[in-house]
Amino acid sequence: MLQRRTGPLLATMLAAMLCAASASAREPRAGFDPGKLKGPAKGVPNEVMVLGTAHLKYLPPAFQPTSLDPLLARLRAWKPRIIAIENLSGSQCAFLRQYPQRYADTVKNYCWDPAPAHAATGLDVLAAIQEAERLLAAWPAAPTPSQRRHLAALFLAGGEPVSALVQWLRLPEAERRAGDGVDCALATLLAERAGARGEDALIAAPLAAALGLERVVAMDDHTADAPDADPKAYGEAITKAWNNPANARRKQADKLLRAGVGNAEGVMALYRAYNDPAQAKTIFDSDFGAALEEPSPQQFGRGYVAYWETRNLRMASNIREAIGMQPGSRMLVIVGASHKWYLEAYLDRMHDVRIVPSGQVLR
Containing 93, the helix (H) or strand (E) segment is helix 90-96
Using CA atoms, how far apart are residues 298 and 76, in angstroms rounded to an integer? 48
* CA 236/CA 234 separation, integer angstroms: 5
Give the pLDDT score at 1: 43
Amino acid at 254: D
* Strand, helix or coil for residue 293: coil
Task: Tell me how far apart the alpha carbons of residues 109 and 9 are, in angstroms, rounded to a whole number.
Answer: 68
Q: Which of 226, 218, 221 is nearest to 103 (CA)?
A: 226
Q: Tell me the C-alpha distance between 192 and 25, whole Å.
A: 60
Closest CA to 94 of 69, 65, 129, 68: 129
- SS3 call for 138: coil
Give me the sign of the Cα torsion angle 21, 22, 23, 24. Answer: positive
pLDDT in single tens digits along all 363 residues of the chain: 444 445 555 555 555 555 555 555 566 566 899 999 999 999 999 999 999 999 999 999 999 999 999 999 999 999 999 999 999 999 999 999 999 999 999 999 999 999 999 999 999 999 999 999 999 999 999 999 999 999 999 999 999 999 999 999 999 999 999 999 999 999 999 999 999 999 999 999 999 999 999 999 999 999 999 999 999 999 999 999 999 999 999 999 999 999 999 999 999 999 999 999 999 999 999 999 999 999 999 999 999 999 999 999 999 999 999 999 999 999 999 999 999 999 999 999 999 999 999 999 999
Report d(CA 322, CA 317) in Å as an integer.
9
Can you tell me the distance from the alpha carbon of 82 to that of 56, in angstroms, rounded to the nearest whole number? 21
Domain residue limits, the chain: 87-218, 231-362
Maximum Cα–Cα distance across the chain: 103
